Structure 1
């Protein structure tokens, strides 16, 4: 079951049915199932698992659970709520040696990188020193050691946030390198969900460059990924892609916005009450 769950969470089968592992798996298997469920937009099921796992005696697993839930809160615009969870994730690692011994960063080093990178991402939406936090996260990942293969997930997440910080600051040209690097790293790792998220970050970057070639490239990426993400069941990535396409295509903006809202409404039907409340209050969510 472990290999099946790894492939669903970090490999080529993000749309897999993980209900058996969610119900009967070990704590680590249930965390992997929660990662998959969150990627599919099944937030209520994921939240139930992660809430339980945040209180497990294993500090690494508890930290991973808190930062995973934080990521899901950010996806519905809940940056302040995510910041509290990422702070909890960091606190759970106090006194834990940051060992890097897992190929997908499911270890103390990966948990530390997740918490620090998450805090930098939270600061983009909630206000705070996002760039300074990201520098700390990047320095930490570099000092942790391990092979490139061992650190692929941490590096991809760092590059997402690097690009997002530059985009938020109005510097799309500077965002291009980390966005393209994230696509390359996720592709080399065979991580489908991370690759399509990286492509979305790259498309957003290209769309902000405002030249015709970049715009055309962004549209091609987004059109492909809307259909691909729907086929994979990665609904939390469908509606942001549709919103971006609406911004790129004024003539069809209304149709793309309606499509985004339709997909989002389906996601929120499978969300827990806190996620629905965060989405309703967020300026980031249509």
Structure 2
């Protein structure tokens, strides 16, 4: 976080956009979708000053548009999120990372719209690409998204080993911000062990919050999407 903030005033507008998108992602992980939207909007505005031949422009454009789409999903603005994901997909190829994130957002938009069956194809595509990417983080997040989509269509038996594997991978890689939502998903998929999964999720989330910056902790406390003190899954307000 401390390294990202100074980049928001860098002379390179593409670097500004990438930093804003990364900072926005941190805020979203703590339930701060409105705060993330401000940062992603700042990143998009910066790109208006970017030279058309900047080598990282496609990546930055994808990052901020998909960030804005994720913000919209979290704020309940599904139609806006759908429009943003369509705009991002209509642009230049952002590379493997952007293509995987595109699948996440396409699936999340459909889940947010109550169209779980429509979420399966983009979730499966993102997961397949992530498995081949070599990135543990993208593999874990993709397994979570696919697991949520499968659970939403009643395919819990297929989702359970997928999410269990994601939890193991996240633990081995030290990806705490992905471990606690994995555990909450497992609590829903594995009722017999739901209490244990919820307790583990609470412990991991508390660790994440201890390492967050003060504004991030404030966003988490105020967020309707993070669990309440008795660890009921959000929205909680």
After TM superposition, the score normalised by the length of structure 2 is 0.91
Query: Cα RMSD between the aligned structures?
Result: 1.4
Alignment-derived partner of residue 120 in structure 1? 69
Say if 1:206 and 1:217, in contact at 8 Å, map to a contact too: yes
Deviations 1:173-223 (A, max 9, x none): 11011111111112222222111111110011111111xxx2112110111
Indicate the structure whose relative CO is greater, using CA pairs within 8 Å and at least 6 residues apart: 1
Displacement, 1:98?
4.3
Q: Is the 8 A contact 2:104 2:123 kept in 1?
A: yes
Write the distance in 2 (CA, Å) between the matches of 1:285 and 1:65.
24
Deviation, structure 1 residue 97: 3.5
Aligned residue among 66, 77, 84 for 2:38: 84
| Partner SS state of residue 48, structure 1 | coil
Contact 1:99 1:109 in 2 (8 A): no
Answer yes or no: is 1:229 the counterpart of 2:170: yes
Distance 1:238 1:98, change over 3 A: farther
Change (3 A) 1:158 1:227: same
User: Matched residues in 1 for 2:170 and 2:53: separation?
Assistant: 34
SS of residue in 2 equivalent to 1:49:
coil
Distance 2:11 2:141 in 1: 32
Counterpart of 2:117 in structure 1 is 173
1:98 and 1:189 map into 2 onto residues whose CA distance is 27
Structure 2: gaps (5+ residues):
228-237
Match of 1:200 among 134, 144, 153: 144
Q: Which of residues 108, 112, 130 is equivalent to 1:186?
A: 130
Instruction: Write the distance in 2 (CA, Å) between the matches of 1:127 and 1:100.
Output: 34
What is the match of residue 216 of structure 1? Answer: 157
Seen in structure 2, the aligned counterparts of structure 1 residues 252 and 115 have a Cα distance that, compared at 3 Å, is same
Figure out how many residues of one structure are paired with residues of the other and give that number: 225
Label 1:50 to 1:193 Cα distance change in 2 as closer, same or farther (>3 A).
same
Q: Does structure 1 residue 131 correspond to structure 2 residue 82?
A: yes
CA shift for structure 1 position 227: 1.8
Instruction: Tell me the distance in 2 between the aligned counterparts of 1:268 and 1:113.
Output: 28
C-alpha distance after superposition, 1:56-109 (max 9, x if no partner):
1111111100000101111111100000000000011113234474xxxxx111
Rounded to whole Å, the distance in 2 between the matches of 1:65 and 1:89 is 8
Query: Runs of 5+ in structure 1 lacking a partner?
Result: 1-46, 102-106
Q: For the residues of structure 2 that align with 1:246 and 1:180, how far apart are their CA atoms?
A: 22
Aligned to 1:70: 24
Change (3 A) 1:189 1:249: closer
193, 202, 211: which one pairs with 1:270?
211
